[in-house]
Structure formats: structure tokens, C-alpha cells
Amino acid sequence: MSLGTRRLLFYIFVVVFLILGTIIVLYSQGWRFDFQTGSFQVIGGVYINSTPSDASITLDGKPVKNQSGLLQSGTLISELVPGSYYLTISDNGYTSWAKTAEVKSSEVTVFDNIILLPTTNSGKLISKNATGFTIADGQLLTIKNGSILFNSRPIPGARVVASSQAGRVITSNNAGTAYHLVDLSNASSSLNLTSLLSELRVSQLHLAGRVAISKIAFNPFDDSSVIINATDGLYVMDTTNLQLDRIATKVADFAASYDQLIWADNTGLWRYNLVLNATTTVLKFATDTAISPVSLNESPSRSLITVINRTGKLYLFDAGTNSLVGIANSANLTAFSGDSKYIAFGNNDGKLSVYNTNNDSYITLINSGPAINSLKWYKDNSHLFVLQGSDLSFIEVASGTPVNSDIISHNVSQFDYNAANDTVYYVTPEGLFSYTITN
């Protein structure tokens, strides 16, 4: 072999080495050749974690091995060039899930709160002909034939308007003119709150006796005390020491949590410490701003407050910035997620949206339909129970399409969710049902 030939082979080997070395380095850095676009791109991936964990997975119609097991939670699908992929999750005896996954270079698209609802274990009838219910301290009260039943025995009232963590309830007649406090540990006796309010108004505040009550709730710091919004003011009534305090007048709505009571009137937002009996100003509305609040809701973190005015406009107050801004033009109810990150709000036109308080973004889950009547967050802060019209649904809170929504039951008039046993309870014309989300 001549010297020239050896040099040629050497140069060829060097070039091949450089090419292969470059390819290996680029490959290790995630570069792949996309034959569809005819270009090199950095790969990405998709991570999936579902309940049940052993569900079947497909990507663009092709089966993907589920990697979940004792040593690994979830499945990582790697080696994906950037683009859109259609992902499905399914299992026998469960609803299915689908989503268009957008894969980006050097990123993993995460779907880690996928829940498939059981279809073989549908709602279980637990009280035939019940027309309502309440869960109080883990105990179930049902309403039948206009009476509230606890352990199959009637207690005063026709409906439950409030309950405490210590097993007490406040009941009312259907007209909302007679309220009673009932301790479920001794349900045979009750306290007439309407009469007590009238007596204390006369004896302690020298006011006219009877007054209409628009809202009543337990003092969350002490359930022997109740908070009452009446036509002439906001009251705190101690039923043990028989003490009545009027802390405000002409209140639109109030909310109470921990040792704090917050309320709204036409002049602003106010806070009252239920232990120290002290009132502080949260925010005074601008004199040229007609907020006209009708309802409010406070976040679990107590740093955010939603206010809905008479026209349905939704405002958000942020205690951190001491600002009040409008976030929606039409709302009839709101619900904060447990981590206070999201605000779900619906309106009478059937639109359901979720506002992200961290980045001021919105997700529309339902565009139109019957009115949104009730909302409740699931314990993972990634799903909502929604009563729209008379349909009770379990809806995934996530961007992208399609929106995964499963109907739990039709003809529902009331529902509530108990996170302790992961069960939703609901009432239909047949009675009271229970439905467990995860087995």
C-alpha cells in the first residue's frame, strides 16, 4: 500500500470518527432527525401517572408499555420529537381519558393527575326517597318528607344550613323564619336561635325583637357561638354566655374561617377578630366605584377574597398587594381550590372557567349550557365536581383538548364531597346515593 493510499485512509477514518463522534454527542444531548420535517430537533417526552395505575396507554393509536410498579410511579415516554401526539388512557370497568399532548424540545410534558372513574361501581342508593342531606363531622343527616333525620330520628327543622366540625348543626324551617342549634351528641334537645336572638336584641342592645335572618353560620373558632347576618346588621351571638354583639350594619355577605370574620358592605371589605373582638379595615372601595357586593368568598390561605356584585361582575382582592381587580364580567358562584391557587367560577349561562391566581391565566372548561348551580374541588386540586343544571360531572382542570369530563349522575338536586372517604354524595328523585371516586 502506497503512502498516498495510507494517508487517504487515515483522512477517511478521521472524517468518519468526527462524524460519528458528533452524532454520538448530539444523540446524547437529545438531538434526533425528524423525517417528517427533514431536520434535526431536540427530543422531548411525556410523563403519565394515572389512577388506576395499571391502565392501558396509547400514543397516536400505538400501545405503550405501562411502567408503573412497585419501584416506579408512572410512565415516561421518551424519544419524542417535538409536535402534537394523541394520548389515551383506558382500563376495563373505568371511564377513558384522552388528551392532545404538546411535546417541546428538552421538556417533559406531565400528566400526573389522571383519574379514571369506575363504571362497574356506579352510585349506591343509601337512603331511598331522601330529598336532601348534610355531612356533619363525618355523620350523615338525611331529609325525608320535610323532616331532618339523624340516626333515623327527627330533629327540628326542614333543612340544614350550617354544620360544625364538632358535630353541631344549625337547622331552619323552609321559610327561613325559625333557626335551631342542635348538638348531634344529644339530638333530642335543641336551642331556638331565632327566639334567643330576639330576646338578646331587646335585653342587651335595646332593639326591636324579631328581625329577618339572611345568613347564619358557626363561629369557626367556637361552635357555641354563631354569626348572624340580619336585615339590620351583622351579629355574633354566644349561646353559652348569652352574649350578643352587633359588629356592623347593612352587610351584604360574610365569610368566616379560623378566628377571623370578613364581610363586605357598600363601603369596603372588613375583618373582625373573633377572639380579640377587634375590627380592622381590609379595603375601602373608591368613592367613584359602585361595587355593590352581594356575595364574597375567602381562600383557604386567607390572602385572597372574591367579591361578586349585583351585576355579576367578579372581583379579586389580594391582601399581598392590597389591590381589588375585576377578573370576570359574569359569575354567580366561586370556589377556591384547597391550595388557593385556582378560582373556579360559573355563571347562569352555563360557562365554567378557572382562574390561575399565580399567573393570571384562564382555562375555560364549559362554554355554555344550563346554569352552573354548585362547585366543589376534588382533593387533588386538579378536578372539579360540577352541578350544571341537574347533571353532576367530574371535570379535569387542565389546558389542552379535549376537556375530560365524566357525568356521575343525571337529575341531581344536591351533592357534597367527603375527602375523608373519597366519596361524593348526591340526591336524585330516587333518593340519596354515594359514589366512591377511587377504589
Better-scored residue on pLDDT, 120 or 388: 388
Same fold, 43-115 and 124-436: no
CA-wise closest residue to 83 among 114, 55, 115, 43: 43
Instruction: State pLDDT tens for residues 407-438.
Output: 999 999 999 999 999 999 999 999 999 999 98
Give me the mean pLDDT over the 170-190 stretch.
92
Assign 21 a pLDDT band (cuts: 50, 70, 90).
low
Beta strands 75-80 and 124-128 are: unpaired
Q: What pTM did the predictor assign?
A: 0.86
Residue 289 confidence (pLDDT): 56
Which of these ranges, 16-20, 58-62, 67-71, has the smallest mean pLDDT? Answer: 16-20
Using a 10 angstrom Cβ sphere, with 0-12 exposed, 13-18 middle and 19 or more buried, the burial of residue 117 is: buried
> Hey, what CATH topology would domain 43-115 get?
Immunoglobulin-like (2.60.40)
Report domain extents, the chain.
3-33, 43-115, 124-436
Query: Which residue bears the cell 498516498?
Result: 4
Instruction: State pLDDT tens for residues 362-408.
Output: 999 999 999 999 999 999 999 999 999 999 999 999 988 999 999 99
DSSP 275-315: TTTEEEEEEEPPTT----EEEEEE-TTSSEEEEEETT--EE
CA-wise closest residue to 381 among 352, 421, 327, 340: 340
Sequence-separated (6 or more) residues with CB below 8 Å from residue 194: 177, 178, 179, 210, 213
> Do the beta carbons of residue 218 and residue 160 sit within 8 Å?
no
Residue 1 confidence (pLDDT): 63
Residue 430 confidence (pLDDT): 95
Residue 26 confidence (pLDDT): 46
Instruction: State pLDDT tens for residues 197-214.
Output: 999 999 999 998 789 999
> Hey, what CATH topology would domain 124-436 get?
Methylamine Dehydrogenase; Chain H (2.130.10)
